[in-house]
Amino acid sequence: MAELVSLGEAVQEAVHDGDTVALEGFTHLIPVAAGREIIRRGLRDLTLVRMTPDIVYDQLIGAGCARKLVFSWGGNPGVGSLHRFRDAVENGWPVPLELEEHSHAGMANRYVAGASGLPFAVLRGYAGTDLPSVTSTIKQVTCPFTGEQLAAVPALNPDVAIVHAQRADRSGNVQLWGLIGVQKEAVLAASRSIVTVEEVVDELTPMPGAVVLPGWALGYVAEVPGGAHPSYAQGYSERDNAHYQSWDAISRDRESFDAWLRQKVFA
């Protein structure tokens, strides 16, 4: 049963050094505030899982929280590079970052397998690419019915999944709508979960296309208005594209990133 707690309590209870952690949200509803809470608590040696690392993982990587990254597309969407990610991969700064990289289709299916309680997922993917030669979690299987060769990827079952949503009720039932990404799959695949929400309300009125995650399937729910910024929560905020553009300069060198950490995270 979901516990309604503060973000600090949720991260303290659910996230530990060395955990495999998935902060999901495909462009929309990215749990950026939860990422900063992880940095603030000085967590280390995390395996970070996320389809699109985005600014949230650029921050965690630059702050030295991550040992390994499992991902499929590591750029600043519409802007360019994630400079802290690149500095970690190219120069091992602040700590070396092991990579396990997939395609979006592979990552999405890995979450589906994880949520489904299956050991692996099967897809038409990766054929002819160099990805299987650098990623040991891409194999081939033969279809037992047709003999066709298909790609197999292992289930993702993170220790903790963290997502952001529009709202929750007082029983911890969570409702999200708009671009729903792989949030549901990530939460159901993980052993523990944290959902940050824009607001806690008395009643979840139906919304078109909404996904409801029942409170009994969740760990912690924390009210964090604006917790997805500079990503957004449809119906509450707009994507702050200017912030994504300004992140390019903030993250480009180590000094300006450290200054940002001191001013925006540790202040």
Partner 1 sequence: MTCDGLSYSTQEMMAVAAARVLRDGTSCFVGIGLPSTAANLARRIHAPHLALIYESGAVGARPEHLPLSIGDGVLAETAEAVISVPEVFNYWLQPGRIDIGFLGAAQIDRFANINTTVIGDYAEPKVRLPGAGGAPEIAASCREVFVVVSQNTRTFVEQLDFVTSVGHGTGPGARATLGLRGAGPTKVITDLGVLCPDPDTGELVLTEVHPGVDIDDVRAATGWEVAVAADLRTTPAPSDVELGMLRQLENATGKPSDA
- Catalog residues that contact partner 1 under the rule CB under 8 A: 26-28, 51-52, 71-75, 77-79, 81-82, 85-86, 89-90, 101-105, 108-109, 111-112, 123-131, 134, 148-149, 178-182, 184-185, 209, 232, 234, 238-247, 250
Six-digit token string for 29? 């509803």
Amino acid letter, 132:
P
Nearer to partner 1 by Cβ, of 5 and 174: the residue is: 174
Which residues make Cβ contacts (< 8 Å) with residue 181, sequence separation at least 6?
24, 25, 26, 27, 28, 29, 51
**117 φ/ψ angles, rounded to the nearest 5 degrees:** 70, 25
Nearer to partner 1, 118 or 127 (CB): 127
Helices then strands (H, E): number in the chain?
A: 9, 15
Distance of closest approach, residue 51 Cβ to partner 1, in angstroms:
7
Helix, strand, coil abundance in the chain, percent, nearest 5: 30, 25, 40
Which of 5, 6, 9, 65 lies closest to 35, judged by CA? Answer: 65
In the complex with partner 1, which residue's Cβ is closer, 71 or 257? 71
Nearer to partner 1, 150 or 201 (CB): 150
Tell me the two tokens of residue 225: 């208005």
Minimum distance, C-beta of residue 208 to partner 1, in the bound complex (Å): 9
Q: Residue 160 Cβ, how far from partner 1 at the closest point, in Å?
A: 20
**Would you say 197 and 226 are in contact if contact means Cβ atoms under 8 Å apart?**
no
Smallest distance, Å, CB 222 to partner 1?
Answer: 23
Strands 174-176 and 160-169: antiparallel
Phi, psi for residue 162 in degrees, rounded to 5: -125, 125
CB of 204 to partner 1, least distance (A): 18
221: buried, middle or exposed (CB in 10 Å: 19+, 13-18, 0-12)? Answer: buried
d(CA 221, CA 88) in angstroms, rounded, equals 32
Minimum Å gap between C-beta 171 and partner 1 is: 24
* Residue (12 or 179) nearer to partner 1, CB: 179
The least CB distance from residue 196 to partner 1, in Å, is: 18
Cβ proximity to partner 1: between 47 and 109 the closer is: 109
Q: Indicate the residue among 52 and 196 with the shorter CB distance to partner 1.
A: 52
